[in-house]
Amino acid sequence: MIKVITKNIRMKSVCLAAAAILWFYVSASQNAVFKLPGTINIKASNVAENLIPRYDEKEVSVKIMGKSSDWQKISSGAFTASIDLAGLSAGTHQVSVNVYSNLAGISIVDTIPSSLIVTLEPIVAKDVGIGKKILGSPADGYVVSDVSFQTERVTIKGAKSAIDNTDEATALISLNGEKDAFEGEFPLFVYDHLGKAVEGVEILPNISKGRVEFERGSNIKSVGVRANLIGVPKSNHYLSDIKINPNVVEISGPKSIIDGIGYLETLPVDINGISSKIEKEVALKIPEGIKLADINNYKVKLAISLSTNEISREVTTTSITAKNHDEVNIQAYLPTEVTAVISGAPEKIYQIRPNDVLITLDFAGKKPINDEVSFTLQENNFSLPEGVLLKEIKTRTVVARVVDR
């Protein structure tokens, strides 16, 4: 047995090495599927003039197919992801995410997510005043006595929903122990009711020249006001806007305490089951050891607006039926499909199958012309599931080809 193994050992070693090289070459040339490391930023293309897109998911993950030998050469920089908004008007749309690669021999197998819900909003502009937000503190024992700006108003431009809910631009003023008046250029930002910067809003100009003055006094700090909301609105409703006036107040107290306070909350406000706008005055919750610089600001005006949680989707159905056609037999419908845009609550719209949308053609009073009967589709031709609304009819005309019975 040993002789069989050791006989022609040199030739067998050469064959084994050749087989290993051949196996490595074949395995390296085989295609394999794997997940691309990292994510790819999604860019919007072909956006209509004077519209701006809004979508929550900004990145996409992809699975690709390629040779194993090429894996180390692949990076997310070799891929682009986009959503094509050509021909879409203002409103909510579901669009596909398109991913492309500039690498030869690489194909896209899967994208996550494969589509996005995109809202296209008109771009609007308006003039607003300038407020201030103080970051840091002046010298111990000093307070900001006055802030003035050379320009009293600026122009903000962006999505209509963001602009409609914005009343001012805020100048950020950074302090670090100053006590003498100074002039500077302060960057401008737009914040929502939670104090977060609003994306996609252009401020013209985006810097304001101003002057900051100080005087001796107790420690004072400007902080935001946050609504303390308890509960949830009625089903299929969501909070579309929360306005607090004033949304910034000044507090005073020991520096060790006020340095740790970023905002004040209102007393609890119950919003459980609400379905319409509410407006009310609410007292502020003042932490122990702190007092308001202006004792008249112990209450704020709170306005909460709601909207229905609704999205739109384009569907194409082949469910076309007829009634009152006793005198003719229907041979065919042209086109064979009808496309429309429906809207409703997300949980309804996502479950709709195309043929859940039914088209009924009423032949009563219709006379064939050259063996054809033409219908202009109206809302009463559509039958939709409960809770679903017809938003737009894309296919306006259906022709039925008929023969006499």
DSSP one-letter string for 257-306? HHTT--EEEBSPEE-TT--S-EEEEEEB-PPTT-EESSGGGSEEEEEEEE
Residue 185 lies in a domain: yes
138 and 100 fall within a common domain: no
- Token pair, residue 354, equals 């195309």
Residue 266 lies in a domain: yes
pLDDT of residue 72: 64
129 and 213 fall within a common domain: yes
340 and 303 fall within a common domain: no
- Domain count within the chain: 4
pLDDT of residue 287: 86
Of 309, 324, 343, the domain-final residue:
309
Domain that holds residue 299: 220-309
60 three-class SS:
strand
291 and 318 fall within a common domain: no
CATH code of the domain in which 290 resides: 2.170.120.40
The CA distance from 358 to 317, in Å, is 7
Residue 85 lies in a domain: yes
211 and 127 fall within a common domain: yes
Residue 25 lies in a domain: no
Q: How does pLDDT run across 144-184, given as a tens digit for each residue?
A: 878 999 998 999 999 898 888 888 999 999 999 898 999 99
207 and 143 fall within a common domain: yes
213 and 224 fall within a common domain: no
73 and 138 fall within a common domain: no
Reading phi first (left if > 0) and then psi (alpha if -120 to 50, else beta), residue 289 is in left
pLDDT of residue 13: 59
The whole-number mean pLDDT for each consecutive block of 10 residues of the chain, a chain of 405 residues, reads 53 54 46 79 91 89 77 74 92 90 80 89 93 85 84 92 88 91 94 81 94 78 91 82 90 80 92 89 86 76 85 91 91 93 85 91 92 94 91 94 89
131 and 179 fall within a common domain: yes
Of 309, 331, 350, the domain-final residue:
309
- Token pair, residue 202, equals 């252009």
**Closest by alpha carbon to 193, among 167, 220, 215, 216?**
167
266 and 289 fall within a common domain: yes
pLDDT of residue 7: 55
Residue 7 lies in a domain: no
Residue 232 lies in a domain: yes
pLDDT of residue 71: 64
**Closest by alpha carbon to 34, among 66, 75, 76, 79?**
66
Q: How does pLDDT run across 349-381, given as a tens digit for each residue?
A: 888 888 899 999 999 989 999 999 999 999 999
254, containing H or E segment: none
Residue 233 lies in a domain: yes
Question: Facing residues of 317 across strands?
Answer: 338
Of 113, 145, 167, the domain-final residue:
113
305 and 322 fall within a common domain: no
| Amino acid making up residue 201 | V
> Which is it for strands 248-252 and 291-292: parallel, antiparallel or unpaired?
antiparallel
The CA distance from 333 to 27, in Å, is 54
The CA distance from 377 to 359, in Å, is 9
pLDDT of residue 23: 43
CATH code of the domain in which 61 resides: 2.170.120.30
